[in-house]
Amino acid sequence: MKNVVPALLGATLFLGVPSAMAVDLPAPAERVVDYHKDIAPIFEERCIKCHGEKKQKSDYRLDNRDDAISSGSEGAAITPGNSAESLLVRLLLGADDNYDIMPPKGDPLTPEQIGLIRAWIDQGVVWEGSAAGTTEAMAEKNDKVAFAGLGESWFVEATAQKGPLATWQIVDEKGPEGETAIALTKPNHTDAGTYNLLWDTKTQFKNGEIAVSLKSISGEEDQGGGLIWRAKDKNNYYVARFNPLEKNLRLYQVKDGKREKLASADVERAADQWSNLVVKQQDNAVSVTLNGQTLIKADVETFTEAGGIGLWTKADAATIFTQPKVSM
Ligand code: HEC
């Protein structure tokens, strides 16, 4: 990032004086970071002794999400979603005239570590358990979490959430045709009434086709998963899902958080193989196709407006999906 000094001032005031902001920030890591694995060890080793439970230098605490974002004398150390604007990131480079470099002693953090912290902030400051903050305590606060891995309009949410949100990640494994794959890797709860969502709030899907491949990883209460579309919010959408445990393909509507079955078809298929799910909607007519066989056709009337699309699993169902393909 280059600092552009306005020409008028640059010529007179700043000539030859390096501006504190002209520092190149290391690039954010290009993957979904995991707070527990990637971030907490850095904070614990390099920051917590001055910004933890015992000491809060500059009134700043870094051992829970709320304080990490807004404690400190500035009251705005982290701007969720924007690492380049975040004071904390600038301090790691000593790029702020008012503060010392952080940590003030020892080697500075490496560009890789700063890249991870940047990605973590850009991805919405997901805070998932730590030595100091329990997952339970964070659950209510994390009722919506940005998932920048697929684009800025993607969010992790849940319908009828009681415990923490599930963890979704872009994974190294690819889909059956080499596609980017995303998995719900950790449900973090077993609540049978919770539906885990990873959805794109921006795509306005009304009529067209959505295709995805999916494969079950695990789940005792539930397995498999599916697609949501015409989603107004986390409580209102259509969902088509394949459940290898119950051995069926189903179409539901979820309205005001309550699920209602619209159609069902029996399917015998092993959980550990990829299944291809295609939803088509034209006005009120929906069809759901699994591995090339159209098993469900129904007329639906509840959601008539265009809405978001996304991925869905129930309870503790951990599942890997390809990035959904939408044609409208
Ligand atoms: C040895 C103690 C120590 C360690 C370790 C340390 N800090 Fe600090 N931190 C301070 C002090 C002292 C200040 C006030 C500095 C100043 O005013 O120049 C400060 C200020 C800050 C602020 C400004 C808060 C505000 O709004 O007032 C942030 C953000 C911060 N530190 C983050 C970190 C991070 C992130 C780490 C680890 C990578 C870290 N610090 C490690 C002592 C420490």
Q: Which residue has the tokens 């397995």?
A: 223
What's the confidence (pLDDT) of residue 150?
84
Are 148 and 124 a contacting pair, CB within 8 Å?
Answer: yes
Are 198 and 311 a contacting pair, CB within 8 Å?
Answer: yes
pLDDT tens, residue by residue, 12-38: 333 333 444 556 889 888 777 888 889
Atom of ligand 1 nearest to the CA of 99: 18
What's the confidence (pLDDT) of residue 5?
40
Instruction: Report the C-alpha gap between 111 and 91 in whole angstroms.
Output: 13
What's the confidence (pLDDT) of residue 271?
84
pLDDT < 50 positions in the chain: 1-20, 129-141
- To test ligand 1's pocket by mutation, which of 45, 49, 50 has the most ligand atoms within 8 angstroms of CB? 50
Instruction: Report the C-alpha gap between 168 and 128 in whole angstroms.
Output: 12
User: CB-based contacts of 250: which residues, under 8 Å, 6+ apart?
Assistant: 240, 241, 243, 261, 262, 263, 264, 265, 296
Are 239 and 230 a contacting pair, CB within 8 Å?
Answer: no
User: CB-based contacts of 144: which residues, under 8 Å, 6+ apart?
Assistant: 155, 156, 157, 234
- To test ligand 1's pocket by mutation, which of 56, 57, 86, 87 has the most ligand atoms within 8 angstroms of CB? 57
Atom of ligand 1 nearest to the CA of 78: 29
Instruction: Report the C-alpha gap between 130 and 269 in whole angstroms.
Output: 39
Q: Which residue has the tokens 């969502």?
A: 197
What's the confidence (pLDDT) of residue 136?
39
What's the confidence (pLDDT) of residue 188?
87
What's the confidence (pLDDT) of residue 148?
74
Atom of ligand 1 nearest to the CA of 59: 27
Phi-psi region of 225 (alpha: psi -120 to 50; beta: other; left: phi over 0): left
Ligand 1 centroid, distance to 82 Cα (angstroms): 19
User: CB-based contacts of 209: which residues, under 8 Å, 6+ apart?
Assistant: 278, 279, 280, 326, 327
Q: Could you tell me the CA-to-CA distances from 41 to 37, 44, 79, 185, 225 in Å, in that order? A: 7, 5, 21, 21, 33
- To test ligand 1's pocket by mutation, which of 58, 79, 100, 105 has the most ligand atoms within 8 angstroms of CB? 58
Report whether residue 49 contacts ligand 1, using a CB cutoff of 6 Å: yes
Q: Which residue has the least CA distance to atom 20 on ligand 1?
A: 58
With 0-12 CB in 10 A as exposed, 13-18 as middle and 19+ as buried, what is 299? exposed
Ligand 1 centroid, distance to 20 Cα (angstroms): 17
What's the confidence (pLDDT) of residue 142?
55
Ligand 1 centroid, distance to 137 Cα (angstroms): 25
103 preceded by a cis bond (ω within 30 of 0): yes
Q: Could you tell me the CA-to-CA distances from 144 to 60, 66, 123 in Å, in that order? A: 25, 15, 12
What's the confidence (pLDDT) of residue 128?
64
Report whether residue 87 contacts ligand 1, using a CB cutoff of 6 Å: yes
What's the confidence (pLDDT) of residue 6?
40
